[in-house]
């Protein structure tokens, strides 16, 4: 039903608004200050001293200040709901009945705010509205006009953003096509055959070297192989997890006793899918910038899978400043963009970056 859908959407809007309440309240406060300043200037120059004194007394009273503050808070709340609700409905391509129900609820809220302020602060005006239907009709028409105009503007903004999003997706698809073309220039079969040859030749001489070559071959095979890539651009989570395990193993072979990392997994992975190379980006970032030489302070990687969500976190001690590797942060930035485009509001990325430690946690909700 439209009412239930709107109620669910309101909960999501409060958690993840398209535009924040405080930004709206700030702009509205500026508008109120400008209006009050102009009103004060005009009325303070009235020729009638009685009217001028009455106005100055009223505008400097606590009642007036309270009314302005309350109006700012309530109207900001209404504008916040109007913008975010209609924006999300437009982005989701909701049907007309849903828009009508939402508009009706917001209009009722507008009347409650408008007449509530009149009742408590302007009782004479409130009595006029109650006793004179024509006066109330004009107020109703004003509310309908305001909400209608806002709706049209917001829908146009949402459509414009949707076009921008599609253009970005086309640009991303173009880059991926160029990347696939670049990969195709390297013959994967030649590469894997060469690694298999080196693995076989190294077996009699060094078990550690042969194991490293085999692990490298498996890592590169996953990076090149796209046969398991679904139409939605997702891969099996278990394959991504295996890739992370092999990547950590490769670094253990590379650094020996100078590299310590733990990878904990809880829950049932099953057939869950995920966009590729997101989790590994977090791990690669940790390996690149971590001081993992102390067994008591290893790189800590944890995957928790439940029916409601997937949580992946990575925490590490930073290298000393004189050993730190310069970072462009391009990998993390690209990862954020990919997550935003693939999961929208159904994901949350938390980063705590201190002088000594770095912690990053990704949460994918609602089965993603």
236 phi and psi angles, rounded to 5 deg: -65, 135
Burial class (CB in 10 A: 0-12, 13-18, 19+), 336: middle
| Entry pTM | 0.47
Q: Dig out the tokens for 46 from the structure.
A: 């009235």
Element (H, E) at 165: helix 133-184
Residue in this structure with the two tokens 């899978």, named with its chain if needed? 305
Give every CB contact of residue 327 below 8 A, 6+ residues apart in sequence: 288, 289
CB atoms within 10 A of CB 12: 13
Across 219-238, b (16+ Cβ under 10 Å) vs e yields beebeeeeeeeeeeebbbbe
Position 312 scores a pLDDT of 95
CA distance 10 to 85: 7
Instruction: Outline where DSSP puts E strands in 247-356.
Output: 261-266, 273-274, 299-305, 309-317, 347-353
CB atoms within 10 A of CB 125: 15
Give every CB contact of residue 324 below 8 A, 6+ residues apart in sequence: 289, 318
Instruction: Specify the DSSP class assigned to residue 326.
Output: P
Q: Which residues pair with 303 in a beta bridge?
A: 265, 312
Residues of the chain with pLDDT under 50: none
CA 120, distance to chain mean position in Å, is 40
Q: What is the 3-state secondary structure (H, E, C) of 86-151?
A: HHHHHHCCCCHHHHHHHHHHHHHHHHHHHHHHHHHHCHHHHHHHHHCHHHHHHHHHHHHHHHHHHH
Position 68 scores a pLDDT of 83
CA distance 61 to 57: 6
pLDDT digits (tens, 9 = 90+) for 187-227: 555 566 666 666 676 777 776 777 777 777 776 667 666 55
CA distance 286 to 358: 8
Position 327 scores a pLDDT of 58
Q: Dig out the tokens for 367 from the structure.
A: 């089965």
pLDDT digits (tens, 9 = 90+) for 271-292: 888 888 889 889 888 888 888 8
What is the secondary structure of 177-216 as a DSSP string?
HHHHHHHHTS-HHHHHHHHHHHHHHHTTT-HHHHHHHHHH
Position 368 scores a pLDDT of 52
Position 224 scores a pLDDT of 65
CA distance 175 to 181: 10
């Amino acid at each position: 039903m439209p009412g239930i859908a709107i109620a669910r959407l309101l909960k999501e809007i409060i958690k993840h608004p398209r535009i924040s309440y405080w930004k709206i309240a700030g702009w509205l406060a500026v508008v109120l200050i400008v209006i009050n300043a102009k009103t004060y200037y005009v009325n303070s120059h009235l020729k009638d001293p009685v009217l001028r004194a009455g106005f100055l007394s009223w505008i400097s009273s606590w009642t007036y200040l309270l009314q302005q503050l309350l109006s700012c808070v309530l109207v900001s709340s209404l504008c916040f709901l109007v913008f975010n609700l209609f924006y999300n409905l437009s982005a989701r391509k909701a049907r007309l009945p849903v828009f009508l129900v939402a508009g009706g609820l917001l209009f009722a809220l507008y009347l409650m705010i408008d007449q509530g302020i009149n009742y408590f602060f302007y009782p004479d005006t409130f009595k006029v509205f109650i006793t004179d239907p024509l006066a109330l009709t004009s107020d109703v028409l004003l509310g309908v006009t305001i909400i209608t105009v806002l709706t049209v503007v917001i829908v146009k903004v949402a459509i414009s953003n949707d076009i921008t999003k599609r253009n970005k997706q086309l640009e991303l698809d173009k880059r991926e096509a160029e990347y696939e073309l670049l990969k195709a220039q390297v013959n994967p079969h030649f590469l894997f055959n060469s690694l298999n040859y080196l693995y076989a030749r190294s077996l009699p001489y060094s078990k550690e070297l042969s194991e490293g070559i085999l692990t490298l071959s498996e890592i590169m095979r996953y990076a090149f192989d796209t046969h398991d890539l679904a139409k939605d651009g997702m891969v099996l989570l278990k394959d991504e997890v295996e890739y992370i395990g092999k990547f950590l193993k490769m670094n253990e072979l590379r650094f020996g006793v100078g590299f310590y990392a733990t990878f904990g997994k809880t829950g049932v992975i099953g057939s869950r899918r995920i966009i590729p190379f997101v989790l590994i980006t977090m791990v690669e970032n940790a390996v690149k910038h971590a001081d993992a030489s102390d067994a008591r302070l290893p790189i800590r990687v944890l995957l928790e899978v439940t029916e409601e969500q997937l949580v992946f976190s990575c925490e590490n001690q930073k290298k000393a400043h004189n050993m730190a590797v310069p970072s462009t942060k391009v990998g993390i930035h690209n990862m954020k963009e990919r997550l935003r485009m693939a999961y929208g509001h159904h994901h949350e990325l938390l980063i705590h970056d201190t002088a000594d430690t770095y912690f990053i946690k990704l949460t994918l909700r609602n089965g993603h």
